[in-house]
Amino acid sequence: MKTQRRFPPSSTARTDLTPTLEGVIAVVRSRHPDSDAGLLERAYVEASIWHAGQRRRSGDPYITHCLAVAAIVAELRMPPPVVCAALLHDVEDTACPPQRIADQLGQEVADLIAAVRTAVVSAHPQTGEGAMLASDAAAPSWETAVLAIRLADRLHNMRTIAFVAPARRLLKARETLDVFAPAASAVGLETVGRELQDLASAVLQPAVSSYAVTGRLLTVLTLLLPSQQRARWQEEWSADLAALTTRRARTRFTLHVLLGAPRLSMTLRRPASQEQR
């Protein structure tokens, strides 16, 4: 019986739950007790240097994506060099000198980064490719390490796909459903495969009726608020709703607003003099 992996929680909202470097190191050490935390710390410093000033479409610092990918790779029981490569998987898009990573972190990390950039993910991996992802062995093959980083990168990108332009969103979702989700399942990562499939399906087959219903309900709820406050809260709630890509998330958010609307209304209507007491 295959053991199901646990991954950082999915979120289509801003990256409030972005893993920390300390958390990533803790996960790596739980799998590899003798690992050198210093290597991971140096990789993080390099990623921070070369991605400084860069932001994702969500507005979050780009380093949050690097940490999220590294956290997923760490949960896949990958050793420190692979997690380092995950932290730096996009460094080739920066002004980082070609030899810099090899000099600072070793040739293995540099070669892994280069391989991730050129690797082609297949929906049907060759027999044995990526098999280590479904086991507890400590020495993954080269192909396994590269595949782990590619899957982690795609998983986090799909979790935050709400911020991508609609046309590109559809293209990435179709590729995820056709290639990445089957590839994850084929190497024993059913949990990753299912999440990729769910996220891609939500983009390709959005619950339009559910979105419309929840949107109308939020509009009705603004009637509970003071008239001068309605436009502001409707805009804020609509923006939060638009960032959610699944029916479950939209329903949960709408229920949260529904339960909190009466108290919000009372707070907004409370005289300022009363609030100061």
The residues annotated with a catalytic role in the active site are 92-93
Dist. CA 52–CA 46, nearest whole Å: 10
Q: Amino acid letter at 199?
A: L
Dump the DSSP string for 185-203.
HHTT-HHHHHHHHHHHHHH
Q: Which of 51, 68, 53, 77 is nearest to 154 (CA)?
A: 68
Residue 201 CB neighbours (<10 A): 16
Give how far Cα 268 sits from Cα of 100, 227, 232, Å: 56, 10, 12
Dist. CA 207–CA 277, nearest whole Å: 46
CA torsion, points 221, 223, 229, 234, in degrees to nearest 10? Answer: 40
- Spatial neighbors of 136 by CB under 8 A, at least 6 apart, are 3, 77
Burial 95-129 (b: 16+ CB within 10 A, else e): ebeeebbbebbeebbbbbbbbbeeeebeeebeeeb
Which of left, alpha, beta for 125 (phi over 0: left; psi -120 to 50: alpha)? beta
Which residue has tokens 């507005």? 59
